[in-house]
Structure 1
Amino acid sequence: MTTSSKRLSTTTLVGTIRQTLLRAKEGHLPASRQILEMIVLRLFYGLGPSHYHIARYWRRELPWRFKTGFWTYKKFRRFVSKLNPPAYQKLSQNKISEKAILQLFQIPTPHFFGRLHARLGVAATGERLISGDDLTQFILAKPQIDRLCFKLVEGYGGTGFRAVSVVREPTLSLRLLDTGEQMTVSQFVDDVLQPGTGADYIIEEYFQQHPELTRFNASSVNTLRIWAFSRGDTNTALGGFLRVGRCGSLVDNTSRGALAFSVDTKTGEIGTGMIKSIWNETFESHKDSGEKITGGSVPFWHESVNLAIRAVAAFPHLQFAGVDIAITIDGPVVIELNVEPDPTSAFIFDRSHEDIFGMPGLFEQMDNVH
């Protein structure tokens, strides 16, 4: 084990002990009971102490079957591979093929402008897009474009995401939405995106989200993550939550510290928020601005659920995905599908995996999954 790994392990252990004692002091389960449960869950269910605190297992009212109903990453992924054959998962994991399938089935997505790649780059209208000069000519030919975003073709968790506004006077330039820095198109392409290193981007419109979502946090496009299931006559939302970025951040990925608020799948009412960490707490307002979020309603909620289900059904042999939905003033659009969504989203739903996937017939997919 490296020195940094040892330091991380020590920090996590100290944090776990501190949280255990704190929750006991607050009136939750006694520290001795928490420690005993952690040992049993680790030895017999593969669930570690960090899991214990992120899922808030220290609450007195939780039944034991709730705690043992969560799965390890390995078990969850084996289950998902039964629902989504691995040979077909890549159709969604590559943003170019994903975009093509969604558009083919008339499922609304942000407008696609093209692919920026040092060798294979091409605009949706057929022009070459391999350099800053190509992108400059593309933007000049389309005066309606005022904001763009760039996503890695196979990026995850918001990695590599860039968004810019277009400045046309006195000469064409781009302004980064997160820092406000202004540069020429060629500088942006060469110094920021760096396609010469092999980086591969799709270019989309950076659209205006619904005012209600902007109110929660204006710097990020705040999206829904809906666990959608579609097989035969069974089409349903298994769970959903709203992701809200931190003030000044462009992204709303929970892996980057964003806030996650549960959403009632039947009504669209926004529940309490949380940050996925062992320091877990629940809250009702934005942690930075104080803006009240809990108790509100997600605009176009039922339309969003239906759209998520349609998106899953559009992909051959896929039955389940965590679908990211953004909402404009005119309704929802699909940002992307996650065919192997983070299983810890169940913490936000406050439901175990066995409960979430416990609908009749679904556990038939669990054959030989251990």
Structure 2
Amino acid sequence: MPSDAAPKARLKYFLERATAFDPSRVWSFATQIAGEQGKWAPRTFVDMLIWAAFHDTGYIDYYESDFALLSRKERKTFMTGLLQHHLADALNDPQDVLLFENKIAFNRLFARYLKREWIDLEEVDADRLRAFAERYPAIIAKVPVGREGKGVFRYVTADVDDWVQFRADLLERGQRLIEEPIAQHPYLSEYCAGTVNTTRVSTFFDGERVHVLMAAQKFGRGAVSDQFTWGGFFTMLDDEGRSVGPGHTGKHKSRYETHPDSGTSITDFRVPLWDEVLALIDEAARVVPTVPYVGWDVAVGPNGPVLIEGNWTPGLYETRVSATGIRTGSRASHQPAIVASRR
């Protein structure tokens, strides 16, 4: 099967990997995989090199998608980091992606879909910050440009004594975007009430139709974010918004048939108000047609879905056979974007 990435993208990737090639790092991955999955390390090492050089598969992709346990045919059903980045670079306008990269710019552009209050701290003084914050028991502060939930913080309003100093401290830490906390649907609160459990949906807008390429449900563990860096995990979703198997973190032997804290079933999960989620995303995906390939984060509230952010590099979400038993990835559903990237 030929590569789904353009020859130029593959050549660039190959040269970058060749320049940065570190045999000891690859060997470390190979020995880890061999130990976890009962494989012979030298053979795994060679296999990783072949799939990196000729099949658009980085070492971390090989590990996290359990390629050592899959046949060649099964492996070719999975998306990889290289292919995803190729699609993002080929399809999305390099200037307009800044509208997604900066959360304040995103909030302004997609204001009608947020359904929550927010302020830019550089545009308000301490009194206006206090007036905003005291309407809520807690506020969410974000660094405008950040990934994986690393720039998201939660502050209890009652803990603030000096609003002038608090504002100055937030600005010093770069936490310029202040938002009203999101109230989530009661069904989602049954899983983890302390974290907003979000749905990631990747889409491609071909100028007429919005194609849903992949959907995953993320679950938190009580922290301000449900991202992996905060202890979160995910399960893949089918076309009806239902879980297709146990949750996992992408790491070996992470498997959650139930939420580890609440005990609520992950395998029986279904996104509430799924049709409304799809309708919101269908509208949002048409706002910036020059950025047609996006991974959307949506939270479902008591009265309907709200948009959190859009990621112009959607993030790689795939099942893992050692956690779920599922041996097929999502590359087939990405074909509309793959075909368009070749034009």
Q: Give the structure-1-normalised TM-score.
A: 0.74
Partner of 2:333: 356
Deviation digits for residues 60-101 of structure 1, max 9, x if unmatched? xx4413324556544432322222111211122222221222
Secondary structure of the residue that 1:307 maps to in structure 2?
helix
1:313 Cα offset (Å): 0.8
Partner of 2:167: 189
Secondary structure of the residue that 2:67 maps to in structure 1?
coil
Partner of 2:62: 52
1:260 Cα offset (Å): 0.9
- The letter of the residue matching 2:286 is A
1:311 Cα offset (Å): 1.1
- Change in Cα spacing, 1:50 to 1:98, as seen in structure 2 (3 Å) is closer
- Change in Cα spacing, 1:100 to 1:186, as seen in structure 2 (3 Å) is same
Q: Does 1:237 align with 2:209?
A: no
- Change in Cα spacing, 1:351 to 1:229, as seen in structure 2 (3 Å) is farther
Larger Rg: 1
Alignment of 1:53-202 (within 5 A): 53-59=63-69, 62-68=70-76, 70=78, 73-103=81-111, 106-107=112-113, 109-116=114-121, 121-122=122-123, 129-130=124-125, 132-139=126-133, 144-167=135-158, 173-174=159-160, 183-191=161-169, 193=170, 195-196=171-172, 199-202=174-177
Between the two proteins, what is the percent identity of the paired residues?
24
Number of aligned positions between the proteins: 317
Deviation digits for residues 125-161 of structure 1, max 9, x if unmatched? xxxx24x454235546xxx434321112222221231
Q: Give the structure-2-normalised TM-score.
A: 0.80
- The letter of the residue matching 2:335 is G
Deviation digits for residues 172-214 of structure 1, max 9, x if unmatched? x44xxxxxxxx543453344x2x146x2522211021111111
Alignment of 1:216-295 (within 5 A): 216-246=191-221, 248-269=222-243, 271-277=245-251, 279-295=252-268
Given that residues 55 and 350 in structure 1 are in contact (C-alpha distance below 8 angstroms), is that contact kept between their aligned partners in structure 2?
Answer: no
> 1:205, 1:71 → 2: CA distance?
35
Given that residues 243 and 254 in structure 1 are in contact (C-alpha distance below 8 angstroms), is that contact kept between their aligned partners in structure 2?
Answer: no
Partner of 1:178: none
> 2:36, 2:80 → 1: CA distance?
26
- Change in Cα spacing, 1:206 to 1:78, as seen in structure 2 (3 Å) is same
- The letter of the residue matching 2:205 is S
- Change in Cα spacing, 1:9 to 1:115, as seen in structure 2 (3 Å) is farther
- The letter of the residue matching 2:332 is D
> 1:216, 1:138 → 2: CA distance?
29
Given that residues 197 and 226 in structure 2 are in contact (C-alpha distance below 8 angstroms), is that contact kept between their aligned partners in structure 1?
Answer: yes
- Change in Cα spacing, 1:354 to 1:239, as seen in structure 2 (3 Å) is closer
> Which of 33, 36, 59 pairs up with 1:19?
33
1:241 Cα offset (Å): 0.7
